[in-house]
Amino acid sequence: MPLGKLRKDIQMKTLIASALIASAALTGAASVASTTAANATNVIESALPGADLSALSTEQLVAVAGTLQNTDGGAAKKAGVTRALIKSLQFKAEQ
């Protein structure tokens, strides 16, 4: 096989692989985004009962719930990380 054709073949395979990876990433993001604010609120409140979530947007609630679910460690660590993230987002909203 000529070298030029081999390079084109490798480039095409790389392009296809990149497209498949991007597609998988977007599918994952879409499934996370489909979590509703109510579901996200329930997830957060189960770990932090009484947390003030009133200043957070739907996107922020979903992000906080996702962070809570993906944080490694025990309940105390998850609660601490989640509490800090909520406080940071509330501070940002006040600015």
* pLDDT for residue 72: 87
Q: Which residues contact 59 (CB under 8 A, 6 or more apart)?
A: 33
Average of per-residue pLDDT across 56-74: 88
Angle at 94 between CA 88 and CA 95, to 5 degrees: 95
Task: Please determine, for residue 73, whether its predicted confidence score (pLDDT) is greater than 90.
Answer: no
Q: What is the pTM of this model?
A: 0.60
8-56 pLDDT, tens digit per residue, is: 666 766 666 666 566 655 555 555 555 578 899 999 999 999 999 998 9
Judged on CB neighbours under 10 Å (0-12, 13-18, 19+), 92 is exposed
Question: In 3-state terms, the chain is what percent helix, strand and coil (to 5)?
Answer: 80, 0, 20
The CA radius of gyration of the chain, in Å to the nearest whole number, is 20
Confidence check: pLDDT of 59 > 90: no
In this predicted structure, what is the pLDDT of residue 50?
92
Report how far residue 45's alpha carbon sits from residue 90's, in angstroms, rounded to the nearest whole number: 16
Q: Which of 11-15, 75-79, 83-87 comes out lowest in average pLDDT? A: 11-15
pLDDT in the model for residue 90: 87
Res 71: pLDDT: 85
What phi-psi label fits residue 56: left (phi over 0), alpha (psi between -120 and 50 degrees) or beta? beta
Amino acid identity of residue 90, one-letter, is Q
